[in-house]
């Protein structure tokens, strides 16, 4: 915001040094926008990783407690699973996933209240359901590896001045 204000002031000032200073300000603004984009991306990836870890851990716990019962329920698809050819295993797994998806859809359609697991409730509540809208907006623009390298160099050049 300060850089943008200075940029506008320089436009109105009418000085001989303006072209060089204006380019410096534009470069600085571009680098700051890139830095914000990168920070927002790191925040979003961290948010997703926390959710991923929570889901993976809770599903692991669920399978430790109920895996045998779940496999018994899906036995018509999974019986003899370990002795099957890879293509048959893949088909059995896909059919089982389809049954689980259907069961979850029916359960969700019943309107049951969904809560975070007790073990992860505090951290999941703290980080929120989705990354905030401002961070998602800040991370919309995508940069190629070459562009990231250019901005990294520009940032170093600006810091050296």
Structural domains for the chain: 2-160 (1.20.58.1090)
The mean predicted confidence, pLDDT, of the chain is 92
Say how many C-beta atoms besides its own lie within 10 A of residue 151's C-beta: 19
Q: Indicate the pLDDT class of residue 13, thresholds 50, 70 and 90.
A: low
Q: Give residue-wise pLDDT tens across range 29-51.
A: 999 999 999 999 999 999 999 99
The pLDDT score that the predictor gives to residue 16 is 60
Average pLDDT over residues 123-150: 93
């Amino acid at each position: 915001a300060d850089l943008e204000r200075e940029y506008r002031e320089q436009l109105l000032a009418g000085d001989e040094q303006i072209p060089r200073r204006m380019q410096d300000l534009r470069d600085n603004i571009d680098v700051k926008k890139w830095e914000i984009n990168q920070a927002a991306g790191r925040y979003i990836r961290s948010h997703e990783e926390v959710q991923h870890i929570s889901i993976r851990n809770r599903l692991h716990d669920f399978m430790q407690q109920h895996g045998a019962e779940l496999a018994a329920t899906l036995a018509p698809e999974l019986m003899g699973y370990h002795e099957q050819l890879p293509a048959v295993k893949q088909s059995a797994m896909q059919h089982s996933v389809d049954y689980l998806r259907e069961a979850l859809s029916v359960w969700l359609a019943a309107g049951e209240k969904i809560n975070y697991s007790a073990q992860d409730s505090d951290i999941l509540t703290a980080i929120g359901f989705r990354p905030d809208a401002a961070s998602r907006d800040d991370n919309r623009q995508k940069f190629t590896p070459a562009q990231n390298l250019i901005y990294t160099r520009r940032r170093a050049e600006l810091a050296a001045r």
